[in-house]
Amino acid sequence: MSQSDILVIGSTGKTGRRVVRALRERGASVRAAGRSTDVRFDWDDDSTWAPALTGAHAAYIVDRQDKPGVWDAESQIRDLAKRAVDCGVRRLVLLQARTTGLVGGKDLSAGEGGVRDSGAQWTVLRPNWFFQNFDEGVLLDAVRAGELRLPAGDGREPFVDAEDVAEVAAAALLDDGHDGRVYDLSGSRALTLAEVAEEISRAAGRPVAYVPVDHEEYVAELVSYEVPADYARFVADLVAQIRDNLNAEPTGTVEGVLGRPPRDFAAFARQAAADGAWAL
Ligand SMILES: NC(=O)c1ccc[n+]([C@@H]2O[C@H](COP(=O)([O-])OP(=O)(O)OC[C@H]3O[C@@H](n4cnc5c(N)ncnc54)[C@H](OP(=O)(O)O)[C@@H]3O)[C@@H](O)[C@H]2O)c1
User: What single string gives the DSSP state of each residue in 51-96?
Assistant: HHHTT-SEEEEE---S-TTT--HHHHHHHHHHHHHHTT--EEEEE-
Pocket test for ligand 1, best of 7, 18, 31, 35 (most atoms within 8 A of CB): 35
Distance 17 CA to ligand 1 centre (A): 11
Q: Would you say residue 21 lies in a domain? A: yes
- At residue 265's C-alpha, the angle toward residues 263 and 268, to 5°, is 75
Write down the pLDDT at residue 154.
Answer: 98
Contact criterion met (CB below 8 Å) for 73 and 63: yes
Pocket of ligand 1 (CB under 6 A): 10, 12-16, 34-36, 41-44, 62-65, 95, 97, 127, 129-130, 133, 137
**Count of domains in the chain?**
1
Average pLDDT over residues 136-147: 95
The phi, psi pair for 23, rounded to 5°, reads: -65, -45
Q: Would you say residue 172 lies in a domain? A: yes
Instruction: List, in order, residues 6 or more apart from 125 with CB less than 8 Å away.
Output: 93, 94, 95, 96, 165, 168, 169, 172, 183, 185
> CA 66 → CA 37, 85, 100, 133, 231, distances in Å?
19, 27, 20, 15, 7
Distance 67 CA to ligand 1 centre (A): 12
Write down the pLDDT at residue 168.
Answer: 98
Average pLDDT over residues 226-248: 95
Q: Would you say residue 39 lies in a domain? A: yes
Q: Would you say residue 220 lies in a domain? A: no
Q: Would you say residue 147 lies in a domain? A: no
Average pLDDT for the chain? 95
Write down the pLDDT at residue 113.
Answer: 95
Burial (CB count <10 Å: 0-12, 13-18, 19+), residue 143: buried
Q: Would you say residue 70 lies in a domain? A: yes
**CATH code for the domain of 71:** 3.40.50.720
Q: Would you say residue 240 lies in a domain? A: no
Pairing of strands 121-127, 91-95: parallel
> CA 142 → CA 67, 130, 225, distances in Å?
22, 16, 13
Write down the pLDDT at residue 4.
Answer: 53
Write down the pLDDT at residue 2.
Answer: 44
Q: Give the three-state DSSP class for 177.
A: coil
Q: Which pLDDT tens digit goes with each residue over 168-192?
A: 999 999 999 999 999 999 999 999 9
Fill in the DSSP letter of residue 263.
P
Whole domain around residue 78: which residue ranges? Answer: 6-132+160-186+249-260
Q: Would you say residue 112 lies in a domain? A: yes
Atom of ligand 1 at shortest distance to CA of 44?
Answer: 31
Q: How far apart are CA 119 and CA 114, in angstroms?
A: 10
The phi, psi pair for 113, rounded to 5°, reads: -60, -35
End-to-end CA distance of the chain: 47
Atom of ligand 1 at shortest distance to CA of 42?
Answer: 32
Question: What residues does 183 pair with on adjacent strands?
Answer: 125
Judged against a pLDDT cut of 60, whether residue 73 lies above it is answered with: yes
